[in-house]
């Protein structure tokens, strides 16, 4: 939540709490919105524009970012398999000549 006194608050409905997460020393906050492409909060004050992030493994305006497990996608396996088959066919063809 952005008030008209340059303060930005995080409202946690589940915990029934409010926390001050940003301030611009009394400057009026004109605009606050989540940036879904970067997981940050865009804040436009009368004197500056800022981005606020909530840290690693967290996203503002989006679901929390899950750590990667390192499991390849099926497309990677298919590409690898096609490469192996192509290499085998090329080798077989060069042995026949």
Tell me the pLDDT tens digit for each residue of 45-69: 667 777 777 766 666 765 555 666 6
The model's pTM is: 0.40
Count of domains for the chain:
1
| In-domain check, residue 5 | yes
88 has a pLDDT exceeding 80: yes
| In-domain check, residue 96 | no
| In-domain check, residue 92 | no
| In-domain check, residue 51 | yes
Question: Which whole number is the average pLDDT over 17-27?
Answer: 74
| In-domain check, residue 68 | no
Contacts of 95 (CB under 8 A, 6+ apart): none
Domain hosting residue 30, numbered range: 1-63
Contact 2, 22 (CB under 8 A): no
| In-domain check, residue 94 | no
């Amino acid at each position: 939540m952005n008030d008209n006194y340059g303060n930005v608050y995080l409202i946690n409905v589940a915990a029934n709490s409010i926390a001050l997460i940003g301030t611009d020393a009394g400057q009026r906050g004109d605009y606050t919105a989540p940036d879904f492409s970067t997981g940050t909060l865009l804040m436009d004050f009368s004197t500056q524009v800022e981005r606020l992030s909530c840290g690693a493994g967290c996203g503002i305006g989006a679901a929390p970012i899950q750590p990667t497990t390192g499991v390849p996608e099926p497309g990677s396996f298919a590409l690898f398999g096609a490469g192996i088959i192509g290499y085998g066919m090329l080798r077989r063809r060069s042995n026949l000549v």
